Amino acid sequence: MEALAAGIIWPVTSLSRLAPQTLIPSILCVADHSDRVAFGWMNYVTLSIYLVLTLVVGLYFTGREKSTDDFFLGGRRVPWWAAGLSIFGTQLSAITFMAIPAKAYATNWSYILNHVTIVMVAPIVVFFYLPFFRRLRLTTAYEYLEMRFNVAVRLFGAAAFCLMQLGRMGIVLYLPAIALSTVTDLNIYVSILIMGVFCTVYTAFGGIEAVIWTDVFQVAVLLGGALLCVVAIALRVNDGILGIIGTGLQAGKFNLMNPSWDYTTACVWVIFVGNLFSNLVPYSAD
């Protein structure tokens, strides 16, 4: 027999000779993948079709990009609902889809207040920011910084945005790459490269219209996948959804409020105030 410990395979006979105080700190994790189902040709075909479709969308809109106004603003012909879904899909990154659910599973639902602040920020953006930008016919918020102040302030704001997005993209690409490399045995760096290349190509060819319509497609896939996961899990759990809810209630997983005043914890006022301002930034300036 062999044991998987910290990614290294050690014979059990060797482990048995170690003192407990020596063994325990050395083992980081033990995982059993003997029952893992292969990704399968059907899943590979589905994944390939999905990636090819994103490229097709980019190439389709290439012929419509006649000017910078077309590339950056879609010729101002994008339907409002598609633009809205695109914004939603952009904010629904791998952090939202993978990291926050994992955090909620490990703790509770206190982070759901983040989404409450998005609802509170929306009217401010809709009734104040958007009419202002549209009235001035601006392409970006940073264009206004030059109008209001000078080009140095515009460049500083744009550079700060680019640096922040580079850091964010590192996490956003890394999380799905972990999932993809786990289920397909693809090298994690290859997974990151595939995602990065495909996103870059369809964006460069199709401009903002390609980005928006692929986002609409991705939102349907993400939300549809999430709902299917809930159904599939419920079918495999005793008492289904009621069993999941009952177990969660017993473990305190549905607790929404941490009334503590300790700013080092995920208490109500930290999540509420912090996310109120942090959500104002992407929905008004990004």
What distance in Å separates the CA atoms of residue 70 and residue 66, rounded to the nearest whole number?
6
Write out pLDDT tens, residues 107-116: 888 888 878 8
Contacts with 226 (C-beta within 8 Å, 6 or more apart), sequence order: 97
Give the global pTM: 0.71
* pLDDT score, position 5: 37
**Is 80 exceeded by the pLDDT of residue 7?**
no
Tell whether the model's pLDDT for residue 25 goes beyond 80: no
Cβ–Cβ < 8 Å for 239, 246: yes
Rounded CA separation 95/264 (Å) = 21
Domain edges within the chain: 53-280
pLDDT of residue 22: 45
Considering 50-64, 99-113, 160-174, the range whose residues carry the highest mean pLDDT is 160-174
Residue whose C-alpha is closest to residue 196's, from 51, 42, 43, 70: 51
Phi-psi label, residue 6: left if phi above 0, alpha if psi -120 to 50, beta otherwise: left
